[in-house]
Amino acid sequence: MEAIVLVGVQGAGKSAWYHANCRDTHLRLNLDMLRTRNRENILLHACLAAVQPFVVDNTNPTAKGRRRYVELAKAAGFRVNAVVFRISLDEALSRNAQRTGRARVPDVAIRGTCAKLEPVTWAEGFDEITWVDVEADD
């Protein structure tokens, strides 16, 4: 079984990547949709118990924040992969400006996530790391 942890600032294309690559095979854990960590935790543990592949579709900027998913998934026998979205701050802000309604987040949130973003490393326990370079015309 596979768990995928997406990493990147808001507007990087994480949710679009999920829909294009694994919407038919992996359950999506997303705080924008679930609204609370409690709901996310319930669904995460249900995936682990049911041996259901899943994607953590959040910004996941810090190694400490990612550790929880990696440790739980590994303990349940999952392969854990990171998909890291590399995008410039200017491009993320530009993409966000094109969003409407709840999809648009305050620019300060993107800047804050960018400032907290820690590089993903093999030492975190990932079985695979994929880097997605996001360009202006992606």
- For residue 138, what pLDDT is reported? 53
Domain boundaries, the chain: 2-133
Q: Give the closest residue to 40 by CA, choosing from 63, 81, 32, 112.
A: 32
Helical H segments across the chain, by residue range: 14-21, 31-34, 37-50, 63-75, 89-97, 107-116
- For residue 113, what pLDDT is reported? 97
pLDDT profile of the chain (138 residues), mean per 10? 97 94 96 91 97 97 98 98 96 93 91 97 98 80
d(CA 24, CA 6): 17
The reply to whether CATH 3.50.50.60 applies to domain 2-133 is no
**Where do we find the tokens 């590089």?**
119
Task: Record the pTM.
Answer: 0.94
Cβ-based burial of 134 (10 A; exposed 0-12, middle 13-18, buried ≥19):
buried
